[in-house]
Structure formats: structure tokens, C-alpha cells
Copies of this chain bind each other. A is one copy, B any other.
Amino acid sequence: METPDHATETPADPAEATGIAAQNWATAAADPQYRAAVVDLLGALAYGELAAFERLAEDAKLAPTLGDKAELAKMAAAEFHHFEQLSDRLTAVEEDPTAAMEPFAKALDDFHRQTAPSDWLEGLVKAYVGDSIASDFYREVAARLDTDTRALVLSVLDDTGHGNFAVEKVRAAIEADPRVGGRLALWARRLMGEALSQAQRVVADRDALSTMLVGGVADGFDLAEVGRMFSRITEAHTKRMAALGLAA
């Protein structure tokens, strides 16, 4: 089975990119506000990967079979290696990875605490929904980044194989017992609500990052564009829920 597409309408084609999207890191980072925004972005992404590692390792304990457990552990290890790449890049640009991650730890920890899955299927839906939305968001932002940072961000968003695995298992569970679909649809809506509320908190807190998102530093973003980005992400979410057999 195929995983439904990500929000594919990337708003800028890097080949025709101008401004920051046409520059490499060394040139772009001369602007201290751009630099601060990228450090924020990499810090948020790194902590997200570390939290994803923990969450998948935790979900592995709920796995109904040894094979499922090994599959989840494999994805957790892949997330950890993404974390390593991001952490190494922060070190390479002389930033302390821990300091860069710290501002985002609370929002992500709160999100995970408030959405602790109560069983294996809720864990799968959460991993699938959460990873997909995060990955759509970073893909959108990536198009606005300098060439070096963009390449890094896109490489850590490489599919860890979680999508197909979750879609197959969840669809099979709904086929076996259709009532499961209603419960999981509610769960997915709760996840989306919590994710948005934590994201708002982060954006309100981090000046450099949010200025970049609304067009103050990197070129091409304005508020209307941010609105369109959120509707692309929401549409992609709706399609994914349908593919899972859930009403979004």
C-alpha cells in the first residue's frame, strides 16, 4: 500500500530560488537574525527527533508481537540518527545542541504527556499523524532555507518507513472491528488540536523563528502565505486520515 502524499505544493522551486534560498549557509548566516532562526529550527527539529525516538521506543513495549516490536525499535533508531545529524550540524556551526533544543523541550514534552497513547493502535496513529504533520511543516519551511540547511532538513525528513507500517496495521484493525475507527478518529482530532496549541505557544515565544515564518527574514513568506501553508497541511492531514479509514 502507498502512503498518501505529503502536502506536495512546495511554494518555491529551489531551482528558481532567489534571495536566501539561493545562498549557501556561509553567506546566509552572515545575517544574525537568519542565523538565530535556523538555530531555532534545527534545535526544534533535533528535540523533536529525540522525543520521537523516546515515543517509538515506548510504543515498542506495547507491540503485540516480537516482529512489531523490532519494527518499531528500527524506526526509533532511525529517528535517533536523524537527531545525531542535526546535533552534529549545530556543533559544526558552533552552537551547543543542548542550548538550541532547550527552548522547545517543554512544548514537545507537554504535547507527548497530554497525548500518551493508551494502546498500540493509538500509538501508531499518533506516530503517523505527528510525523506526517511535522514533516509537511518542515518541507514547507525547507524551501525558504539556504541550500545547506535545506539539504540537511530534507535528509532527516526521509521516510523512516513508519507511514506504510501504521497505515496497514490501523486499516486491518478497523476492518476487523469497525468501532475501532470511531475511537481512533476522535483520537486523531485530539492530537491535531494539541499539536496546534503547542505550536502556537512555540511561535509566540520564539521571535527569530516566527519572524522568519511570516516573512521578516527569509524571503517569500507573508501572513497570507502562512495561512495557505496551514491549509495545505490540513488538507494533507485529511487525506491521510481517509487513507487510514478515519473521518478527519
Binding site for B on A (CB under 8 A): 47, 50, 53-54, 57-58, 60-61, 65-67, 69-70, 73-74, 76-77, 80-81, 83-84, 87, 97-98, 101-102, 105
Contact = CB atoms under 8 A, between A and B. Distances in A.
A87 B58 CA distance: 21
A52 B101 CA distance: 26
27 contacts: A47-B66, A50-B66, A50-B69, A50-B70, A53-B57, A53-B73, A53-B76, A53-B77, A54-B60, A54-B61, A57-B57, A57-B58, A57-B60, A57-B76, A58-B58, A65-B98, A66-B98, A66-B101, A70-B97, A70-B98, A73-B80, A73-B83, A74-B80, A74-B84, A76-B76, A76-B80, A77-B81
B57 A70 contact: no
Contacts of A54: 57, 60-61, 73
A92 B57 CA distance: 26
Closest 4 CB pairs of A and B: A57-B57, A77-B80, A77-B77, A66-B98
Number of copies: 2
Q: Select the residue from A65, A77, A87 with max chain B CB neighbours within 10 A.
A: A77
B70 A83 contact: yes
A70 B87 contact: yes
